Chain A
Amino acid sequence: SAVISQKPSRDICQRGTSLTIQCQVDSQVTMMFWYRQQPGQSLTLIATANQGSEATYESGFVIDKFPISRPNLTFSTLTVSNMSPEDSSIYLCSVVPGVGGNQETQYFGPGTRLLVL
């Protein structure tokens, strides 16, 4: 499976500020996704990060709040904009491997733990 890293691993931020989370993969992947896991809850898909084009957002998530970039096949960023305490969550990226990998399965990064004060 692909090796996925996320930066930062955790952060504490003030309300009204923005944080950009990075997801780096050690090999080219076909698809990348961003999820949110609120405290005590399950995972919710935010968007699909499309390489070279705008991300595809799920219902309830908008680009102005969660802008996403994916400049190449191994890297993506998620920005949490104008943060409020309700944005305190774990943010996770996931990938579907490219050629040579298990292309039927998503693999998840370690997550970024965000606390907004």
Chain B
Amino acid sequence: DAKTTQPTSMDCAEGRAANLPCNHSTISGNEYVYWYRQIHSQGPQYIIHGLKNNETNEMASLIITEDRKSSTLILPHATLRDTAVYYCIVRPRGTYKYIFGTGTRLKVLA
């Protein structure tokens, strides 16, 4: 079973920040949090990952709570092309097995 829970769907206005939450309350100390997105049934696209600290790259920011039991992916200025299913995944260090949950279907509205 997936070790993460996410809302089924969310809407966001174009140009606004999209904040996608993920709960991983059973995460252990050596497990990373990864975010991917899948557009129109294409292959999932890597977005960002982190262990403890907040991370930022050209696509998004990842905020991990201090107890590491939840995280939020932030798309700072959502565009229509960000409409996709977003997956939050927990990966143990030393393995590469991903267990995908059901993800959040984000719809960016014009």
Contact = CB atoms under 8 A, between A and B. Distances in A.
Interface of A: 1, 4, 31, 33, 37, 42-45, 48, 90, 92, 94, 96, 104-111, 113
Interface residues of B, number: 20
11 contacts: A4-B43, A42-B2, A42-B87, A43-B44, A45-B99, A96-B96, A105-B34, A105-B49, A106-B98, A108-B43, A110-B43
Contacts of B103: 42
Q: Is the interface of B mostly helix, strand, loop or mixed?
A: loop
A108 B96 contact: no
A42 B97 contact: no
B46 A92 contact: no
Nearest to B45: A108
A107 B101 CA distance: 17
The 7 A-B pairs at the shortest CB distance, nearest first, are namely A108-B43, A42-B100, A43-B100, A108-B44, A110-B43, A111-B43, A109-B43
B96 A31 contact: yes
Contacts of B2: 42
B32 A104 contact: yes
A45 B46 CA distance: 17
Nearest to A33: B96
A42 B103 CA distance: 8
